[in-house]
Structure formats: structure tokens, C-alpha cells
A and B are shown apart, each in its own frame.
Chain A
Amino acid sequence: METKLPPASTPTSPSSPGLSPVPPPDKVDGFSRRSLRRARPRRSHSSSQFRYQSNQQELTPLPLLKDVPASELHELLSRKLAQCGVMFDFLDCVADLKGKEVKRAALNELVECVGSTRGVLIEPVYPDIIRMISVNIFRTLPPSENPEFDPEEDEPNLEPSFGRDPRHGERLVYEFFLRFLESPDFQPSVAKRYVDQKFVLMLLELFDSEDPREREYLKTILHRVYGKFLGLRAYIRKQCNHIFLRFIYEFEHFNGVAELLEILGSIINGFALPLKTEHKQFLVRVLIPLHSVKSLSVFHAQLAYCVVQFLEKDATLTEHVIRGLLKYWPKTCTQKEVMFLGEMEEILDVIEPSQFVKIQEPLFKQVARCVSSPHFQVAERALYFWNNEYILSLIEDNCHTVLPAVFGTLYQVSKEHWNQTIVSLIYNVLKTFMEMNGKLFDELTASYKLEKQQEQQKAQERQELWQGLEELRLRRLQGTQGAKEAPLQRLTPQVATSGGQS
């Protein structure tokens, strides 16, 4: 077995999906980002799935499963499954109330039955179960109500068949599916005939659903499928790659990226060493470019987790990752910049000193740029690096490289930044430097001051030069002969000095 998953717990609700713990997303922005956009009136549309369902057949309640003798159990089960395969329009809340109630009851019973009764899952019911699930959950997702849907600000479009009421149809189907996969009687060797590549592909397409509850279920289910069907693992990884690549380079729209990454995080966790080239490629060609996407904030926590997982597996990838992050470093989006800094700190937390040496210079040049950012949150986040003891020890070990890379910026920003918190943070950092290596600090201060002086002097000369030139020009224009001599005399020596410098 090439990969191993962490032992699956047996969750009953998707709120504890049993995936490896993923840290909650960083609260990157102190401002509450309340949407100013007017709430759009919900348009009444139906999901595409109801298009071909015109059969409004009457459903009649069947006897309860527990009331029939074991010999008839499976026949009744099949009939119940068939009943659950009838679709209703959950937007129209008054139509077919009776039919919906029957289906709901049947589903509830099925969930109950599969979860608790042993010996229900025998081979002949597998195709019925998978068919029932497919009919209920597979559909073309409707167009987004809001083409510029911003997952952070807009209310998601909740799938009507999930309903506000937790007892509603589709949710029960997912619940049933989950119980089915987790049942002790479940046999992957039988199920693999029905849970095939096509099935998985449709499952993956559903991750684009706008309803977070549905995606939550899908996440848990896909995780189980990945764990139980060894033959589908490579295929699932490949299709995830395709989804990500399409998301990065083609459409920039996919709602389930965070969920997929969460699953992948736990998959990466189980990778065997040494890492296969395929997995390394996934890191370099998919995960790193994912950082460039506009809606990064939605899935950044999961993405960072995946990246760190990789580095914990194989430290030699550190250089690629950090250089990749520096390459995609956001230039205008401060919110993303803060996220990048957060991820960088997570990486530095696990970095090996030998790797740190390879990237310290470009890295700290970038950190210095962040410190000088006029956005105080960016500067603050960058300065927090010095509160991290491990990073501090790395800096100390390499202070002859790191200090010169950041010193000038720190010194300058400490004089200029508008935000007092930043200024005091920088003072602390400078103090740390002084304690770290007083001699180096003094040298750097001296050379910095000299540099500044030279710069100032040069600027002043330049200004005088221009002033003289301007005066000269004005006199010329006015054509007054007598005034010409004065500026010329003033100009001439300056030309000589500045010419000598250049």
C-alpha cells in the first residue's frame, strides 16, 4: 500500500469528519468585512435535476423494516430504496407533501437500519443502494445566482433539497451513504464494481456546490472512499489535480477547493517515504501555483497545512517551496500578503537550519519589504517573526547575512512609519539585533548613516542644480540681457563638482 490514512474515527455527523485536524483560518483582517452589496432577492429556480422528473407517482408507505421477518427483509429493502429514488421538488414546499413524507420516513429508516443492524448489506442490495444514491445526489449544479460570488462575503446558495430542516431529503441520503460506507458489513471488494471512476468523477464535480453543508458531507464521504477503495486512489488524486489546475489556470471558480485540500492534507500525511515524483510534482505544479489565485483566503489554511505536511515529510523540498512562494508573492493585495507571511512562519517553524541557509537572503529581503509596507497589518505580521523563538535562533545563527538584508529597511521604517505600534515593534527588533551582535549592529548603523548622508548631499546638489537651471531658463525666456550672468556664475562650480562625482 503506497499511502496510509490515519485510522478513521466513526463520526456520525459531518461536523467531526475525522480528517486530520486543520487549524482554523487565520483572522487576517481586523476590520469586519460586512458586505455593502444589497442582498439579492432569491430567484425561484429549480435545480436542473428536476428537469426530467415528470413522474409524480404516488408513494405508499411500506411496512417498517423491523416488522418483517428476516426472509423478507431484503426484498422490502429494495422496495424502500426504489421509493427513495423518486425525486421531489423541494423548492415547491406544498407539492407532494405526502410523497415527501413517505420518502423521508423511508430514508430515516434506512439510515437507522444500515447504521445499527448487522447483516443487512448483502451483495444484491449494493447496486440498488448505489443507484438510489446516484439518482439523489448527482445532478448538474445550477448556475450561480451571483456570477461574482465571493465566498467570503456572500451568503451561499443553499441547496433547497437540504432544506433548513435537518430531516430533509438530500441530507438524509448523504447520511445514509456515509453510514453505508462506514458499516462494519461494508465490503469494498463488492462495492468497487459500483463505485467506479465515473461515480467518483461525479462525486468530485459536486464539490462545486455552493452549499457548505453538502460539501462537508462530500468531504467526509470522499475521504472514506479514498480510504476504502485502493484502486481509486490514484484516480482521485489525478482528478483533484485536474480540478485544481482548471481552477488556477482556466476558470477561477470552484467552491470546494478548501474541502478537497483538507482531504489531500490527510492524504499527504500518509504518503510513504521517499516521496514519489508524482507527489513532488503535485506540490510544485499545483499546490504552489494555487497561491496565486485571487480567492486564496477561502482555502489558505488548508493549503498551508498541505504545504507544511509536505515539508515535514521531506525537508529538501523547502527551497522549492519558499522560492515558489516568493515568486508568487502578492504585490498589491495586502490581505494575501498577510496570509503569505503566516504561511511562511509556519514553514519556518519546521525548517531545517541547513535549508534555512539556502533561502535566507531572498526571504529576508521580502520580509524587509513587508516591514516597510504602509499597511500596518502587513508590517506587523512580518515583525511578529521576531517573536518566534525558533526563527530568532535561526536569525542569530546567520546574523551576518540576515542583518544586512533587513537593517536598512528596519532603520528607515523606524523613523518613518505612520503607525506607532509598528515603530515600537521595530525598536524592539533593533534592540534584539543590538543584543545579538553589538559590533555588527554598530557597523551597520555607521554605514547606513554614511549612506544616508551621501544620499542627502546628492539630493541637495541636484536640487540646487535644477533651481539654478530654472532661474537661468526664466531669464532667458524674458530675454533680459543683464540678468544672465548671475545664475551662470553660480552654476559653473556646481557643474564641476557634480560632474566629478558621476
Chain B
Amino acid sequence: MNPCPCFFRLGKGRRGSIRFLSPPVFLSSDLQLLQWGSEGSLNHRDRNSTPQPLLNPRGGLLPCCPGAGRGRGLGAGREAVTSSRRRKNMAGASGLGTGPGAAGGDGDDSLYPIAVLIDELRNEDVQPPLENLATVEETVVRDKAVESLRQISQEHTPVALEAYFVPLVKRLASGDWFTSRTSACGLFSVCYPRASNAVKAEIRQQFRSLCSDDTPMVRRAAASKLGEFAKVLELDSVKSEIVPLFTNLASDEQDSVRLLAVEACVSIAQLLSQDDLETLVMPTLRQAAEDKSWRVRYMVADKFSELQKAMGPKITLNDLIPAFQNLLKDCEAEVRAAAAHKVKELGENLPIEDRETIIMNQILPYIKELVSDTNQHVKSALASVIMGLSTILGKENTIEHLLPLFLAQLKDECPEVRLNIISNLDCVNEVIGIRQLSQSLLPAIVELAEDAKWRVRLAIIEYMPLLAGQLGVEFFDEKLNSLCMAWLVDHVYAIREAATNNLMKLVQKFGTEWAQNTIVPKVLVMANDPNYLHRMTTLFCINALSEACGQEITTKQMLPIVLKMAGDQVANVRFNVAKSLQKIGPILDTNALQGEVKPVLQKLGQDEDMDVKYFAQEAISVVAQRLRKLDFPVKDSGEPSVPRADKNHFPRPRVPGEDTGKGPVYPLHGDTRDTLAQLEIAELVHFSQSRD
């Protein structure tokens, strides 16, 4: 719902198709050096079926949400690196390494994932293949190679670092193709702290030259690592070298480079004193806040809290607040939205004694205008944080100045804005109590509850428990209860499901007595509904509520209904009865289980429908276990036992489809499984013969 406008970062949104890395291609003067893998390697995408732990491309469309789907698979690779290293080192294996050439295997396997590659190698052999991987075009692969190299660098002794690692970084930094130089940018900061002074000077020199590299890709990489590199430098070097680089990058001809300099600004500012900040950094930052490209201004808005903390209160008051005002009325909605997001944090980070006046006088006028902004994303960004201001401004200011804004936003035409206000009600509740709002709240909630978009309805359902807690049981019963029941018969399954969960949370909040009086009867009535979906909703509600309601209500009120529904003419209802019985079994006592549940389940176990039969049998085994646990000997030899019940006598062949726990066992295909089966059969035969 919230589009993220900042697609201009390093790293890219991933395409849908998965591509694996190509063999490292070295750029040389002649094209003949291009190495195509053997024919098989060109079809390597067929390997999708084999586990590929490393090359999970980053998920998510928006690169500005780092971490989304990223790197999870890569963890496995890292483990492989460390564990293999440890294992080999402990074993003292010191045989000659086979070298990088033989490392990955050729042909098909030249594209083998990094983790596996590294797993086969000893520590000092890891670098060369990683160096190659750090030069490939595919960004994910390169980033991962750099990450691994950074880890390896920590394992080096200072001597080894200078002997092996620093030359590698230099090679990458002076590579022909931009890919190796971008990779080098990320490696300077890890080798700098432990290098000797002479080498340090060289490293700084190289970083400097990459900052003014010819290709924008490299400058972007350098700009994104500038802050990190500044942190490991001596303060003098920061002042004399990093600051000029920063100034240059911040006035680069490409806005994609300039915006990364803003990020670096935060790290650099943390290192410098107030006076230095004023003279060395602020001119550039002021310029960035008024950059002609909206992307750079967006970045300033996006990083505003970090900048504010790094710059300290004095500069904040003199420079940043006016800049922030400009960002709040920027001509691009993206910038305004980013700035609006920061309103609350800005307030929180201000010095406590002045913050009320600063916000009241310098920020609030702009906020008032944003409430009626033309762009809905701006309004909803504001709505998501504006409630937070009430704690900062105190009760009176909130009632006088903020409350009208809340009310205006509650009536906003865009549902997202209203939702954001409602979802943050707790902030206001602490300061002025929710009663002030309840009169305006109700129409807003009702409208959202009946919104035509089911996602909006879903969102408001999720806030119901919170609202109920703050509005109190009386208000709830009077105004909102009917809504909650109406959701149970929504035509969208997701809404019905959410409504069911909602009931459970409400019962937890208001107690079993309330449930018995208000919720349970209504739910149980639905068991007679002509629509089978509604009848099933009754079952789902019972599943959710039984635990919260306790044994008595479950046994006396719910169970009879469930048992009655076992005779339903729709099979879906019947197997859900079986599922429900399995679910509420643990809450019931033995008498009910033995006397009522079991016969019904046994009947369902003979049902003509395959699924009903299956779920009934599953439920029987669970119930039987429970009874056994309750120390009630059961005699159920007559009925076929459930597949999983008994494995003691001999091993069952592993069969696909078994894991899903459903249906009959299907024959296997594929040669490996074939052999496996034969082996197992042979074993089986042997076993039974020997027993005889």
C-alpha cells in the first residue's frame, strides 16, 4: 500500500526469474578470453530442482527495504565456510591446495554455489575463487563474495593480511571492468585498521581514486562505503581526505551518487566536533537539502533523524529545522511524505526543555497544511506518526491543536489515512483518553468496516482488540459487537478467518462470561445456516474459542452443536467436524471423549467420502492418545490403525507424499528411489524370512 519512491539505491529490485552466476569472465584486450562454460553450464538454470542455498536472489520489489528476503539462504553458506575451515584446521590438513582452478569443478559444476565451492577449500584457497566471484556482473553474487571476503579478512594475521589480502584488494581496485572496482570499495575498510602506515597511505590513495572513477557505478559503490571507511580512519585523515571526497561526491553530476553521499554524511558527522561540522560538513548538507534532484532531497528527509542526532542540537536548531520546513513543503510528494514520516522522531530527538515550543511554533503550522495535502501518501505518512506528537505536546496542546487534525484525518477520503490514525490510537489514549475521540471514531470505524476493499476491512479487524480494550466493554457491546458478528459472514474467506481470530482475542480480553452471553449464542446459531460456508464458520469459531472459553462452555454448549453437525450433508462440513473434534479434544474430559466424541468419530471414519474418512481417522488417533494419556485403557483393535501409529516392527520405505500426511501411498519414480526401494525390499524380505 505504501509505495516506496526511493528506487534509487545501490542494489536492485529483483526480477522474477532466477539466474545463476556465470563463470567469471575476465575482461582482457581480446574477446577470445571470454570463457563460456561447457554446453551444460549454459543450461544450468535447469538446476532449480537441486538445493541452491546461496544464490537466492533478493526478494521484494523495492530495494529500499533492505533485508527483505535477502541473505537468508546465504547464512547457510557462511556456516559452511566457517565450519569447513574449523574442521580442516583442526584436522591439521596441510596438504597442498589444489588451487582455484580445480576448486569448483569444471563443466556443469563450474557454476556451483559459493558455499559448496568454499566448503571444498582450505582457508588460503578461499580467496582466489572469491576474488573471481567479486568480479562477476550479477550484483547479488558480487555482494556476497565481498561479504565473505570481509569475513575472511578478520581471520588473517596482520602479516598475512598484507601479504595476501591487501594485494587482492589492490588488484580488484585496479581491475579493468567496473565490477571488480565496485567490489574493492567494500574491502578497504576491513583491511585498513590493521595495515601498516605505508599500506594505509596506499589504501587511502586507492579509495580516493575510486571516488573519482570514470564509471558512475564505481562512484556509487565508493559513495555508499564512504561513511564506513571514514569510521576506520584517523581523525586527521578524515578531515583532510574524507571530507573533500564527501564534498566531491555530494556534488557529483549524477544524482544517484549525490544521494549516497547524504548517507555517508551521517557517519562522517558522528566523527567530527561541532566546529568542524559547521565548517566542513554543513555547507554540503545545506546544498543537499536544496538539491535540484528530488531524490537527493528525499534522501535528506529519509535520513533526517540520523542527521539530527549526528549534528547535535545547536546545528539542528539553526540549520536543520529550517531545512526540514522546506522539505515538508517540497514540491514533490515523495519528499513531503518522507519528511512527514520523520515528524515524530524529530520531536523526540529535540532537547526536552525546548521541544514543545519548537514543535508548536516551527513545525505544527506545516503539519496543519499537510493534513489537507493533495497526495494521499503524504497524508497517510503523516497519519502514521502524528498521534505520537501528543505525548510530546501534552494534554492541553493535544486537545487544542492536534485533536482537530486527528478528527480531520479520521474523515479523510483515503482509507489508509483513517486506518493509520486508528491504528495509533493508543498514543492518544495515554494523553487525553480515547473518549474525546470516540464520537468521531465510530463513524470512521463503521465506514472502514464496510469498505469495499477487503484489505481495508482486514486491517480494521486487526485493530478491533486494541480498540475494544481502549473503548471498554460497554461501548463495544453497544456499537461494535454487531460489526464483529457481521464479519463472520463476509463473502471473503480472509475476512471470516480474521473475524474468527478477532473473537478469540476479544474473549481473552473480556472474559468467558462475556463470551457466553454475547458471542457464543450467536456463533452457534449459525450452525443451522443454509449456507455451508457459514456452518463451517461456526466450526472455525469453536476451534478458536474453545480454549479461551474453557471446559465447561465447550462441553455444554459447543460440543453438542459440533456433534450434531457430523450429520451434515456437505462433506466439507463433516471433515471439519472431525478436525474440530481433534482440536477441542484436549479441552474435553474423558467422559465426553469416550462417550460422545469417539462414537461420532468412528462413524465419520466409515464415511463414504475419502477426506472425511482420513480426517476422522487422524482425529481418532489423537483422541485415542489423549485417552491413553489419561490412563484409560482403550480397546480399539478392530479398527484400522492410523498410518503413523506403529513403526516399531520394521522400517517403512520413505515415500513421497507421506510427508503431507494425506492419502494413499504412491509409487516412486526416478532411479535413485528405485534403488532405494529395492534395497529396502531386500532388507524387508530378509527380515521377515529370518523371523520365520
Contacts and interface: CB of A to CB of B under 8 A. Distances in A.
B3 interface: yes
A142 interface: yes
B474 interface: no
B331 A50 contact: yes
A148 B13 CA distance: 11
Contact of A462 (B137, B333, B667): B667
Nearest to A201: B253
Given A48-B293, A281-B27, A465-B681, A294 B669 contact: no
Interface stretch (A39-47, A94-102, A188-196, A221-229): A39-47
Interface stretch (A241-249, A434-442, A445-453): A241-249
Given A147-B7, A251-B12, A320-B36, A462 B19 contact: no
A328 interface: yes
- The listed residue with most A CB atoms (<10 A of its CB), out of B215, B255, B680, is B215
A4 interface: no
A248 B179 CA distance: 13
- The listed residue with most B CB atoms (<10 A of its CB), out of A142, A327, A329, is A327
Interface in A422-469: 459, 462-463, 465-467, 469
Nearest to B646: A477
Given A140-B255, A148-B61, A280-B31, A495 B685 contact: yes
Contacts of A167: none
A469 B684 contact: yes
Contact of A465 (B12, B333, B374, B677): B677
Given A459-B669, A476-B649, A488-B685, A498 B39 contact: no
A326 B39 CA distance: 10
Interface string B48-62: 100000000000011
Contact of A249 (B12, B36, B43, B332): B12
A261 to B, nearest CB: 19
Contact of B253 (A198, A320, A502): A198
Interface stretch (A300-308, A330-338, A371-379): A330-338
Interface string A255-291: 0000000000000000000000100110011000100
A43 B36 contact: no
B332 A142 contact: yes
Contacts of B215: 242
A251 B682 CA distance: 58
Interface in A319-374: 320, 323, 326-333, 361-362, 365-366
A462 B669 contact: yes
A472 interface: yes
A119 B603 CA distance: 103
Given A142-B294, A250-B139, A484 B18 contact: no
A40 B372 CA distance: 19
A143 interface: yes
B139 A332 contact: no
A100 B428 CA distance: 51
B34 A284 contact: yes
Contacts of A365: 43
A423 B15 CA distance: 33
B339 to A, nearest CB: 14
- The listed residue with most A CB atoms (<10 A of its CB), out of B27, B48, B678, B689, is B678
A232 interface: no
A250 B11 contact: yes
A502 B675 contact: yes
Contact of A140 (B11, B292, B641): B292
A462 B653 contact: no
A294 B685 CA distance: 55
A45 B333 contact: yes
A92 interface: no
- The listed residue with most A CB atoms (<10 A of its CB), out of B11, B12, B640, is B12
Contact of B641 (A44, A330, A477): A477
Contacts of B433: none
A327 B22 contact: yes
Contact of B5 (A143, A281, A320, A470): A143
Contact of B331 (A48, A246, A249): A48
A7 interface: no
B663 interface: no
Interface in B293-315: 293-295
Given A292-B19, A331-B48, A488-B685, A43 B333 contact: yes
Nearest to A51: B331
A327 B292 contact: no
B255 to A, nearest CB: 7
Given A48-B293, A327-B42, A331-B48, A499 B3 contact: no
A252 interface: yes
Interface string B278-300: 00000000000000111100000
B74 interface: no
B463 interface: no
Where chain A touches its partner, the secondary structure class is helix
Given A48-B332, A252-B12, A466 B5 contact: no
Contacts of A285: 25, 27, 137, 177
Contacts of A362: 39, 42-43
A293 interface: yes
A395 to B, nearest CB: 19
Given A142-B294, A147-B7, A332-B16, A466 B677 contact: yes
A242 B217 contact: yes
Given A51-B331, A251-B8, A469-B653, A43 B217 contact: no
A253 interface: yes
Contacts of A361: 39
Nearest to A333: B17
A466 B665 contact: yes
Given A280-B31, A492-B685, A323 B42 contact: yes
A333 B16 contact: yes
A79 interface: no
Given A43-B374, A473-B652, A294 B16 contact: yes
A11 B3 CA distance: 42
Nearest to A459: B669
B289 to A, nearest CB: 13
Contact of B674 (A44, A48, A252, A502): A502
B682 A499 contact: yes
Contacts of B137: 248-249, 285, 289
A125 interface: no
A495 B682 contact: yes
A250 B374 CA distance: 32
A65 interface: no
A183 B383 CA distance: 57
Contacts of A462: 667-669, 674, 677
A277 B334 CA distance: 43
Nearest to B335: A143
A478 interface: yes
A491 interface: yes
A242 B12 contact: no
Contacts of B640: 478
B688 interface: yes
Interface string B645-671: 110011011000000000001111100
B678 A320 contact: no
Contacts of B10: 250
Nearest to A293: B15
Interface of B: 3-5, 7-8, 10-13, 15-19, 22, 25, 27, 29-31, 34, 36, 39, 42-43, 45, 48, 61-62, 137-139, 177-178, 215-217, 220, 253, 255-256, 292-295, 331-334, 374-375, 640-641, 645-646, 649-650, 652-653, 665-669, 674-675, 677-678, 680-682, 684-685, 688-689
A-B interface, 6 closest residue pairs, ranked by CB to CB distance from nearest: A466-B667, A294-B15, A140-B293, A147-B3, A463-B667, A280-B31
12 contacts: A147-B5, A147-B62, A245-B217, A277-B31, A329-B45, A332-B16, A476-B649, A477-B645, A495-B682, A498-B674, A499-B682, A502-B675
Given A148-B61, A462-B677, 6 more contacts: A43-B375, A52-B292, A251-B7, A277-B30, A362-B43, A469-B677
